[in-house]
């Protein structure tokens, strides 16, 4: 069975991963191991959270699952390193794990490319100064941000308590008419259960942090399974070799 392993910061919405396993009919394994630090959405704290030392610890914890690939399941803890720093971050993670590696920030760029999305709207939960790093990261990856909203939520724990209705409203209310898709960039937000409803309301794809993170892990291993329950990214065969 293919195994994609995920290093997840603290606790918030990690139940999205077994939820996805169920949608795939338990044909893939998506183990999650946790590393701990402050859950504050602030640049200095996020740089510490995504440090080489902490991610090496996460890789060590995942080793017992014998993963075929490893993904740092944190958007803000990767994009705050900016493009080159985030690339170095995953290279060091790959070396520590002895496996192919990536992060949620690169997952967003790769998923957008796979679906042919060039212009997007960003519905961010972060404070604005943090969210602006994501806009910069997307631009470096060739994705133009038509509009960016920020909810100014300070901690991941608060994001994890958002209701499905609040997540749906966040996405729908922050669309842009010129955007090919809406991006929701926080793995602390529980989104997988509402992706079909969001896409029905928007009439366009939505990319969410846990969704693209899972997709990226499976893409690193090989073909991405097709399922109707996780939106256009998994429905349209994106990532198939």
Residue whose C-alpha is closest to residue 13's, from 162, 213, 160, 211:
160
Supply the CATH classification number for the domain 4-106+210-235.
Answer: 3.40.50.12500
| Domain 114-208 fold | Rossmann fold (3.40.50)
Contact 64, 216 (CB under 8 A): no
What count of residues does the chain have? 241
Token readout for 219 is 């893409």
- Confidence class for position 241, pLDDT limits 50, 70, 90: very low
Residue 201's alpha-carbon distances to 49, 54, 115, 138, 174, in angstroms, are 35, 39, 19, 24, 12
**152, exposed or middle or buried, with CB in 10 Å at 0-12, 13-18, 19+?**
middle
Percent of the chain at pLDDT exceeding 70: 94
Which two structure tokens, joined as six digits, stand for 10?
């603290």
Task: Give pLDDT, residue 177.
Answer: 96
User: Is residue 120 scored above 80 in pLDDT?
Assistant: yes
| Domain boundaries of the chain, sorted by first residue | 4-106+210-235, 114-208
DSSP assignment string, 55-124: HHHHHHHHGGG--SEEEE--SHHHHTTHHHHHHHHHHHHHHHHTS-EEEHHHHHHHHHHHHT--EEEEEE
pLDDT at 151 over 80: no
Alpha-carbon gap, residue 234 to 231, rounded angstroms: 6
Q: Report pLDDT digits (tens) over 23-77.
A: 999 889 999 999 987 766 677 888 888 999 999 999 999 999 999 999 999 999 9
Dist CA 223 CA 130 (whole Å): 33
Mean pLDDT value of segment 102-125: 96
- Model confidence at 239: pLDDT above 60: no
Q: What is the DSSP letter of 33?
A: E
SS3 at position 168: helix
User: Hey, which residues does 145 pair with through a beta bridge?
Assistant: 120
Give the distance from CA 35 to its chain's centroid: 16
Looking at residue 28, its pLDDT comes to 95
Task: State pLDDT tens for residues 70-97.
Answer: 999 999 999 999 999 999 999 999 999 9
**4-106+210-235 and 114-208: same fold?**
yes
Over 60: is that where the pLDDT of 195 sits? yes
The Cα–Cα gap between 112 and 205 comes to 10
């Amino acid at each position: 069975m293919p195994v994609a392993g995920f290093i997840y910061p603290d606790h918030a919405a990690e139940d999205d991963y077994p939820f996805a396993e169920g949608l795939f009919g338990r044909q893939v394994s998506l183990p999650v191991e946790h590393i701990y630090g402050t859950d504050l959405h602030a640049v200095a704290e996020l740089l510490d959270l995504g440090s080489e030392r902490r991610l090496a610890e996460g890789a060590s914890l995942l080793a017992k699952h014998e993963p075929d690939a490893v993904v740092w399941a944190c958007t803000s803890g990767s994009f705050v390193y900016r493009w080159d720093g985030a690339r170095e971050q995953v290279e060091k993670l790959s070396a520590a794990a002895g496996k192919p590696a990536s992060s949620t920030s690169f997952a967003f760029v790769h998923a957008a490319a796979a679906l042919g999305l060039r212009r997007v709207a960003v519905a961010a939960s972060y404070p604005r100064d943090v969210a602006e790093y994501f806009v910069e990261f997307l631009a470096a990856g060739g994705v133009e941000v038509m509009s960016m909203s920020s909810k100014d939520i300070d901690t991941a724990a608060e994001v994890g308590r958002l209701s499905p209705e609040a997540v749906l409203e966040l996405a729908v209310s922050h669309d842009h008419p010129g955007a090919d898709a809406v991006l929701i960039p926080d793995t602390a937000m529980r989104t997988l259960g509402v992706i079909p409803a969001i896409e029905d309301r928007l009439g366009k794809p939505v990319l969410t942090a846990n969704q693209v993170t899972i997709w990226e892990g499976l893409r690193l291993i090989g073909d991405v399974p097709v399922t109707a329950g996780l939106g256009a990214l998994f429905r349209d065969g994106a990532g198939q070799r």
